[in-house]
Amino acid sequence: MFTMATAAIIGAALGLFVRPRLLGVLVAVLLVGAVEGGVLMLIGMLEGQPNRELLIARLEAVFGEGLLGAAGPIAATFIGAVLSALMGSFSDPSDSPGLLTADQLRRRVGKNGRYARIEGMVEERQIHAKAESRIDSILGL
């Protein structure tokens, strides 16, 4: 029971915070599946050792017996991750600004062949104007 609750919490956290949401669900299920598989493999290796019955019994009590016992925590992880991903997607603001790409920046070419500066792109200072005039005089523009 403790393992199922822990797996559900891990699934819910990863399903909510990992973007894209489908990746969060996949990572959560793979993580818990790897832990459960590792414990099953450890139990399989310990069965051949002498005097390990108590350790095997305690591991099986915590993590479940066999594949059927491992299916519970994995299912709890999947359900927790899917539900938290769905609820997280409903609570995301729909008007969140996307990334600003180069295609969205429309820069006009002026009469002199240079791109016009977008407002706020560069702070206009007197030293810039002097440098531009020097370059223009050197290039003969």
Q: What is the pTM of this model?
A: 0.62
What percentage of residues in the chain have a pLDDT greater than 70? 79
The predicted structure's pLDDT at residue 80:
94
For residue 43, give both structure tokens.
């139990």
Kindly state the average pLDDT of the residues 21-48.
93
Kindly state the average pLDDT of the residues 5-9.
93
Categorize the per-residue pLDDT at 118 as very low, low, confident or very high, splitting at 50, 70 and 90.
Answer: low
Residue 115 has pLDDT above 80, yes or no: no
**In the predicted model, what is the mean pLDDT of the chain?**
84
Q: How many CB atoms lie under 10 A from the CB of residue 129?
A: 10
For residue 31, give both structure tokens.
């993580």
Residue 121 has pLDDT above 70, yes or no: no
The predicted structure's pLDDT at residue 10:
93
